[in-house]
């Protein structure tokens, strides 16, 4: 099943997208007269898979006489982007651990205490 895109001739503005099921008889859009100021082109989508450590960018459009190609690209993350991502993960983990760190440093927990889960939960909640 093919996809099609309707473009305005003057500026290549996208007016509509449709799949071939819309054109019941032939499965292809009609050829429009030039005075209508519009044309149907086959839509080609290039959308590669993205893996960990990569960023997807786009799309860009390439228009020929018969096709409109919408392309995304995938690139490896830069060292700076990877470092920034790790910084964010560290900050998230510190935010989660902050009440426990406070409780451990202020004497809330003393060696030898026999604390239930409920009591530990209450002591940690006091530090939120």
Per-residue pLDDT reduced to its tens digit, 43-56? 999 999 999 999 99
Domain that holds residue 93: 79-125
Phi then psi for residue 101, to 5 deg, are -60, -45
Residues 45 and 107 in one domain: no
Q: Which two tokens stand for residue 79?
A: 């060292």
**Measured between alpha carbons, how far is 127 from 122 in angstroms, rounded to an integer?**
9
Residues 108 and 51 in one domain: no
Say how many domains are in the chain: 2
Residues 9 and 54 in one domain: yes
Residues 54 and 12 in one domain: yes
Residues 99 and 60 in one domain: no
Look at strands 38-46 and 14-19 and give their pairing: unpaired
User: What is the Cα 102 distance to its own chain's centre?
Assistant: 36
Q: Residues of the chain with pLDDT > 90: what percent? A: 57
Residues 64 and 8 in one domain: yes
3-state SS class at 14: strand
**pLDDT above 60 (res 76):** yes
Using an 8 Å Cβ cutoff, are 46 and 72 in contact? yes
Residues 16 and 44 in one domain: yes
């Amino acid at each position: 099943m093919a996809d099609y895109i309707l473009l305005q001739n003057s500026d290549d503005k996208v007016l509509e997208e449709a799949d071939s099921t819309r054109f019941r008889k032939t499965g292809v859009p009609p050829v429009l007269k030039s005075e209508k100021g519009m044309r149907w082109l086959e839509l080609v989508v290039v959308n590669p898979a993205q893996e960990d450590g990569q960023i997807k960018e786009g799309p860009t459009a390439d228009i020929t006489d018969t096709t409109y190609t919408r392309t995304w690209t995938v690139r490896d993350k830069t060292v700076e982007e990877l470092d920034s991502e790790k910084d964010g993960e560290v900050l998230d983990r510190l935010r989660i651990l902050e009440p426990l760190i406070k409780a451990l440093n202020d004497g809330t927990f003393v060696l030898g205490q026999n604390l239930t889960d409920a009591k530990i939960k209450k002591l940690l909640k006091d530090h939120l």
